[in-house]
Amino acid sequence: MFSYSFRFRATRILRALFFLLILNLTLVARENQGSENADVKDKKFAFYTVIKGDTPYSIARKFSLTTDDLYSFNPQAKHGIREGDELKIPTEFMIHLDDKTTNGIKYVTYIVGRKETLYSISRIFNTTQEEILKANSSLKGVLESGTILKIPLSSNASDVAPTPVPKPISAEEYTLVSGDNYYQLKQRLGYSQSDLEELNPILKEGFKAGLVIRLPTKRSVEPVREKEIAIQPDKKEDLVTPLPLVNSEPFMSKTSTNFNVGVFLPYCQNQSDSIRTVQHSTNFLEFYSGILLADEKLTASGMKIKLHVYDTCLDSMILNEIVKRAEFYSLDLVIGPVYPSEQTSIAPLCFKNHIPMVSPLSSDSRFVSSTPGYYQINPGKKLRLTTTADYISTNFSDQNIIMIRHADGSGDDKFLFDRLISKLGSAKVHQSIIATEDGAALEARLKDDVDNIFVLAEVNEADVSVAMTRLNTLSKTHRIKVIGLQEYIKMQSIDIEYFHNTNLHYLAASFIDFENTSVIRFIGKYRSEYGAEPSQYSFQGYDIALHFIGSLGKPAIKFLTSDTDSELLQTTYRFEKPAAIGGFINRSLYVIEYTPGFEVRNIAELEGVVGSD
């Protein structure tokens, strides 16, 4: 266990650089594909997505190209193509006029480009969405890049006069997704049936995924928009907007196997490539890599999942634009954003639109008590401290308990000390001040007939380092056990050997057992897919996606507790409300022990005291 932990730390920056290098090479490759000759560089391209059964020859014929032409635009295709690959096709070959007519109507074959919709295509050809749908009866689902459409034209295309396109009067566009109906749109966006049909008569014929409709500004029920929350950046107290008292049971997800999941992560690819930015970006790329492996597992089980991935870039302006998009209101689950400052604009919107929101990494609990449908994965600091005090009072009340404290007696150590006193009484808990007591004074407090339990809640690395150095020396001649914080293992100035010598214990929200068969299988899969070792972020991304996406379409109560057979890798979820209203916080905690034999193991699973945050 020690060797794996040491290797994990030693390779962290190298793996970070590797991920960024791969990402940058991918972007450069996409920009420079086909740059081998000037003709290719000067052309404008659309992208065709390879489907099952395609060959370079069949694709070339489809667009009246030669295979040599196809290879010149896509050199990588010389080594073979597979389903899902994207190939560049010059735009002049994207439209092909068919020789035959049907009932006096000529058709063109058209390949859908990126971000095109039925509405935008109908404008190109001066036709309607209805006519395109009639000509393509097999069209199902959302219109995707690479889809081939038959577009009806007049029998004499040159005689077709462009039809004037009415100017949208303060209207937006929305692309229908599978499962949409009048009730869903009214619940999510606030439009009545009459509002929608007034601008979109085609809806009277039924809803069809991929159809683009117009949304009027004036609504029968006012929509939930970021600007309506009226968050003033200069008024700190408004960052957590008080929400109305409502039933805060888990939001019921739709009964379906098709789901839209939004993933909001700060990859920050537009920032400078400093080592800090590289490490920052890599953490979230690894988290997302874990989500992708969970997505693959759930897809194999029969779920149909569409991931909408957003780079928030730690930029509130970017987030404000994202939540104004119609697609945001089609989401069935939101994972992220990571930081509370980013969650400010999204958490209230998710609540008001009944979209469950998962806070994946932060232990900041500012939203959980006021935002129904909000799920906080990492327990807050006070919850950990309260549960730590209760663990000590339950298991070591007959031992020599000494709390090492900072001189000012404030902050976390005061909170923990007061909790211990309330549970055990002042006679049972002694205290030592780091700044005034040296190693000899500390040794004078030790007893030989019982274990000496040293409790630390200090977070200043310099003070923790001093305390651990003194305790490491005492551990050579006395029975010592340290109850500390998870944060200590990340402190670079402390030798990891000190943790083992002093038998460090701490409470954590997760633990990875590298002998577990599911963990071993995941590591093998991760290595195969990404050519790298998974980090703790990878495991976290996998567990969160497997539990929450896997619970969609099931009774909402499934969100609150992970199944024993769910094959989560590093945690068990047990969510509970810290207040009568609001969301849910995970209260599963593990007691992690660093043994003198250089093992790191989980010795107990606890249920945290919810409400202490």
143 has a pLDDT exceeding 60: yes
Respond yes or no on whether the N-terminal peptide bond of residue 360 is cis (omega within 30° of 0). no
**What is the arithmetic mean of pLDDT over 91-112?**
63
What are the residue boundaries of the structural domains of the chain, listed by start? 1-32+256-379+509-582, 95-159, 171-216, 382-508
**What is the arithmetic mean of pLDDT over 596-604?**
93
Q: What is the mean pLDDT of the chain?
A: 76
81 has a pLDDT exceeding 50: yes
**What is the arithmetic mean of pLDDT over 194-214?**
77
HSE value, Cβ hemisphere, 13 Å, CA-based, for 220: 11
Q: How far apart are CA 200 and CA 190, in angstroms?
A: 16
Segment 497-530, tens digit of pLDDT: 999 999 999 999 999 999 899 999 999 999 988 8
Q: How far apart are CA 179 and CA 197, in angstroms?
A: 18
593 has a pLDDT exceeding 70: yes
pLDDT at 187: 63
pTM of model > 0.85: no
Above pLDDT 70, what percent of the chain? 72
480 has a pLDDT exceeding 90: yes
CATH number, domain 382-508: 3.40.50.2300
Q: Helix 381-395 vs helix 411-424: angle between axes, to the nearest 10 degrees?
A: 30
Please indicate whether residue 127 or residue 102 has the higher confidence score (pLDDT).
Answer: 127
Do domains 95-159 and 171-216 share one topology? The answer is yes
pLDDT at 307: 92
Segment 400-425, tens digit of pLDDT: 999 998 766 668 888 899 999 999 99
Q: How confident is the model at residue 160 (pLDDT cuts 50, 70, 90)?
A: very low
Query: What kind and span of H or E run contains 314?
Result: none
Range among 129-138, 220-229, 268-277 rated most confident: 129-138
For 171-216, the fitting CATH number among 3.90.1150.10, 3.20.20.70, 3.10.350.10, 3.40.50.720 is 3.10.350.10
CA distances from 262 to 84, 281, 336, 337 (A): 21, 18, 8, 10
170 has a pLDDT exceeding 50: no
CATH number, domain 1-32+256-379+509-582: 3.40.50.2300
Which residue type sits at 487? E
In order, the DSSP letters of 84-97 are: T-EEEEEGGGSEEE
Please indicate whether residue 291 or residue 110 has the higher confidence score (pLDDT).
Answer: 291
Class of domain 95-159: alpha beta
